[in-house]
Amino acid sequence: MVNMLESIPVWFYLITSVIYTSSAIIGFLVSYFAFKAYKVTKNKTHLFLSLSFLLIGLGFVALSSTSIYIYTTLQLYKGSSISLNLLNYQGFRTYYILSAIGYVLLILMYLPKKITNKLFILYVPIWYASSFNFHLFSIVLVLIVMIQSIINSIKRKNLNSYLVTLAFVCLLVFHSLLLLTSFSQSMYITANVFLIIGFLSLLTMLIRVNFK
């Protein structure tokens, strides 16, 4: 993303600003309702989910702030600079790191308590925070969570379990589109639409849990 700044039209940053801001808001809502559920159930699954989406939401805040700043700067000064490229890079790097840690927390939801109680340090290779490595890393983690959620939905056969499965299927599609396809503005927007659908599916499930 670093070297593509000048080749991307200004309107694209306006659209991504809206997408990233929406994703951050939905992520924080997921975190809030998951924590609310944790206070009632004392289920660590809800706690890990809350912490995970708090970090993912903060990652999207970094992207949103970056896109808004770049859009307003390009609109005002009709140009770009090395500093904007660097800012764009740092925004994505922050997002990659926070989201990667967030996905690790999702994995912890399904690990046995004996293992999670022994995990004092969450290791994430932050020096590999590049687009390819991040999406590949995310696909592996989300795939594991998705498989487990599919197993749970087959056992429970209720709407909430289906909503969770849909959420992780959409997250897998999001990362797969960005990893397996060459960058284009339309594809990038399509991938993020899947992300938002996934977030909304998870949020719907948590709202249903909290207001039963």
Taking only the tens place, the pLDDT of each residue in 157-176 is 889 889 999 999 999 999 99
> Which residue did the predictor score with more confidence, 8 or 159?
159
pLDDT at 43: 82
pLDDT at 162: 93
pLDDT at 128: 47
Q: What percentage of the chain exceeds 70 in pLDDT? A: 84
In this predicted structure, the answer to whether residue 25 has a pLDDT above a threshold of 80 is yes
In this predicted structure, the answer to whether residue 127 has a pLDDT above a threshold of 80 is no
In this predicted structure, the answer to whether residue 1 has a pLDDT above a threshold of 50 is no
d(CA 105, CA 127): 19
At 208, the pLDDT band (50, 70, 90 cuts) reads confident
pLDDT at 126: 45
pTM: 0.82
pLDDT at 7: 62
Question: What is the pLDDT averaged over residues 28-41?
Answer: 92
pLDDT digit string, tens, across residues 52-108 = 999 999 999 999 999 998 888 877 765 555 577 788 888 898 999 899 899 988 888
pLDDT digit string, tens, across residues 167-205 = 999 999 999 998 887 777 888 889 999 999 999 999 999
In this predicted structure, the answer to whether residue 134 has a pLDDT above a threshold of 60 is yes
pLDDT at 212: 67
